[in-house]
Structure 1
Amino acid sequence: MSLKEFTKEELKQFDGKNGHKAYVAIEGDVYDVTDIPGWKNGEHHGNLAGNDVTDALLNKSPHGTRVLSKLTKVGKLI
Structure 2
Amino acid sequence: MELPKYTRSQLALRNGQDKPDIWVSYNGLIYEVTNSRLWKNGKHYEHWAGQDLTDEIAQAPHGLWVFERFLLIGELI
| TM > 0.5 fold call | yes
Matches within 5 A, 1:48-59: 48-57=48-57, 59=58
TM-score, normalization: structure 1? 0.90
Counting matched residue pairs gives 77
The one-character-per-residue Cα deviations of 1:17-68 (angstroms, maximum 9, x if unpaired) are: 25520000000000001001100000001111110011112x1001020101
Q: Which runs of 5+ in 1 are unaligned?
A: none
Q: List, as ranges, runs of 4+ consecutive aligned residues in structure 1 with deviation greater than 3 Å.
A: none
What's the % identity of the aligned pairs? Answer: 35
Query: Are positions 1:77 and 2:68 aligned together?
Result: no
Write 1 or 2 for the structure with the bigger share of helix. Answer: 1
TM-score, normalization: structure 2? 0.91
